[in-house]
Chains A and B, each alone.
Chain A
Amino acid sequence: MDMTQAIILTIMTAATPLLLAAIGELVVERSGVLNLGVEGMMIMGAVAAFAIAQLTGSAGLGALGGLIAGMLFSLLFGFLTLTLVANQVATGLALTILGLGLSGMIGEAFIGLPGLKLAAMEIPFLSDIPFFGRILFNQDPIFYISIIAVIGVNWFLFRSRAGLRLRAIGDSHTSAHALGVNVVRTRYLAVMFGGACAGLAGAHLSIVYTPQWVENMTAGRGWIALALVVFASWRPGRALIGAYLFGAVSIGQLFAQSRGIGIPSQFLSALPYLATIAVLVVISLNRRMTLINTPASLGKSFVPER
């Protein structure tokens, strides 16, 4: 493996959890729900995946456990905001705080244990392609899922009837409701999808990225994912660009430092944020298109009229 390949692989590992969490949140926000609890769902996914992998001896079951944990945790958010119509912003923040605390408590027994790593899945024939084969087709399953999720969500949102309904709810829940769409049920499903993606993203951290459990190991990645959704103007393809750009600049600046270029490291550390925001803002410069893409009912509570 040459150095370019090694660095690209590092970038992909760094980008995968961001992309997964962002794509989940993108669907949630497209349905008009703002769930700021991504960080909390991610960390719950991380601790559950690690714990289940330790207890069962299977990293695959761990990943599944992380996904389910994220989904269950998001149901709590769904119940509070959709059924009890609590404020979404406050509930999302509370979810993050609860997740960070709860995961620390659950994970206490697992601190200092070396983790199991989810094995790479080599895809026959394709992995033999020179250069790209090893990079794209010899990855962990969660990477494949993240790419499939982008393609799938893009198709779902813009090519399927169900996706059209979901976007309609996000734009105007009252109109969608008047047309007979079940707003609350659709939003529940969207929130659960978001939770599952965030949970799996967390699982990636604790069984692929750095196979270990340490408290607070998400270290703000949930918030970066949230920002990516907005700067990607709620388009899956742009979220992919954003996540990979962020990953590339993050790794690139570390690499530049290890080569000893004389740029202040504080500036280099800020660079991934600056570069990602700049590029995504430029892509989304068309104001009219951005307005069309913005879910108009985002963050507003919905109470069905009887």
Chain B
Amino acid sequence: MKKTLLLLAAATALAGIAAPAHAEGMDKVKACFVYVGPVGDFGWSYQHDQGRKYAEEKLGDKLETAYLESVPEGADSERAIERFARSGCNIIFTTSFGYMDPTNKVAKDFPDVKFEHATGYKTDHPNVATYDSKFFQGRYVIGQIAAKMSETGSAGYIASFPIPEVVQGINSFMLGAQSVNPDFKLKVVWVNTWFDPGKEADAAKVLLDGGVDILTQHTDSTAPMQVAAERGAHAFGQASDMYAFGKETQLTAIIDDWGPYYVERISAVLDGTWEQSRTWAGMAEGHVVMAPYTNMPDDVKAMAEETEAKITSGEFHPFTGPIMKQDGSEWLAEGAVAEDGELAGLNFYVKGIDDQLPQ
């Protein structure tokens, strides 16, 4: 008995030495956010900021937040992240793919600060975690809707940068569309920006001029939705519900809901239970939410709801074989499902996409 007690005491003492002070939890945490666009973009950055506000609401006095908006990707962002790390932030969320290397670089110099990088794949240090949402799940659903709703059998896709997340989206959209109409045509235009309302509108106009009647986008502004509304076409909202910009135009929107994740991770810092993780959640976890299905006949709506339910329950995965690569070679055999790791590095198109993927 005595021996056990002694051992226990020793173990506790050891734990006390090994664990850093804050692992015991903290009374108040400062969470900082770096955004690539302005919080008023009504798209990507807007949704992250909604998540920040949600966390503030949930955690109340225990949370203090700060954010920097319109921080360019690349070397510039390193200064922003470092400034936050220096200014007493306990956890820093860097919310764009291009912040990946800067985040890991700064993390090395500030081992006591937790870093959470969105949409990336590098976790070089134990204090870096990544998180992302399976937007491609939503894209499969809207692909199906597009194929049902298009009179020309084609859709226009306004894409930002050829990174895996965007490529997953294009492929998933196309697979969804092909499941309804095997001859579906997809026109992809790369605008090489996340946010430039004018350029996004230009791309939208050019695509509609070229004969497509449905638009979808992987850029952050509401401009394409507005152009579609003007021309009487249909479109899908991106990142946030853009219904107000096209009441007769929006079919649905893929909404990013980051709030619950932010609450979970910040709470983990408060409790001292934060650990490195690689989160990739989707519809099942409530990270990817579909806006109400509007401006479509009931049978299309029913089909979309059914697919959404199947993806949510895990019964169906958008990347289920047989799937051919663009060049006609086999990617996934009959019944095979793509691994998360493979999707995270996806850099090729599936068969039927009439575009050359920029490398």
Contacts and interface: CB of A to CB of B under 8 A. Distances in A.
B203 interface: yes
A100 B69 CA distance: 12
A213 B70 CA distance: 16
A215 B41 contact: yes
Given A112-B244, A114-B244, A258-B187, A214 B42 contact: yes
B87 interface: no
Interface stretch (A84-92, A103-111, A134-142, A237-245): A103-111
B62 to A, nearest CB: 26
A251 interface: yes
Interface residues of B, number: 44
B209 A205 contact: no
B38 A219 contact: no
B223 A212 contact: yes
Contacts of B206: 7, 10, 251, 254-255, 258
A262 B207 CA distance: 17
A7 B209 contact: yes
B210 A259 contact: yes
- Range of interface residues on A (Cβ < 8 Å): 35 or more
Interface string B97-108: 000000000000
A17 B200 CA distance: 16
Given A10-B206, A219-B196, A114 B38 contact: no
A217 B244 CA distance: 19
Interface string A227-260: 0000000000000000000000011001101111
A213 B199 CA distance: 15
B358 interface: yes
Contacts of A114: 226, 244-245
A111 B210 contact: no
Most buried by A among B196, B197, B245, B356: B197
A83 interface: no
Contact of A260 (B70, B195, B354, B358): B354
Contacts of B69: 215
A3 B354 contact: no
A153 to B, nearest CB: 24
Contacts of B148: none
B197 A210 contact: yes
Nearest to B359: A264
A175 interface: no
Contacts of A213: 40
Contacts of A264: 356, 358-359
Contacts of A254: 189, 191, 202-203, 206
Given A7-B209, A254-B206, A209 B198 contact: yes
A107 B41 CA distance: 11
Interface of B: 37-42, 46, 69-70, 156, 162, 187-193, 195-203, 205-207, 209-210, 221-223, 226-227, 244-245, 354-356, 358-359
- 4 closest A-B pairs by CB: A215-B38, A265-B190, A215-B40, A219-B196
10 contacts: A7-B206, A108-B40, A112-B244, A114-B245, A212-B221, A212-B223, A212-B245, A251-B206, A257-B190, A265-B190
Interface of A: 3, 6-7, 10, 14, 17, 100, 104, 107-108, 111-114, 205, 209-217, 219-221, 250-251, 254-255, 257-260, 262, 264-266, 268-269
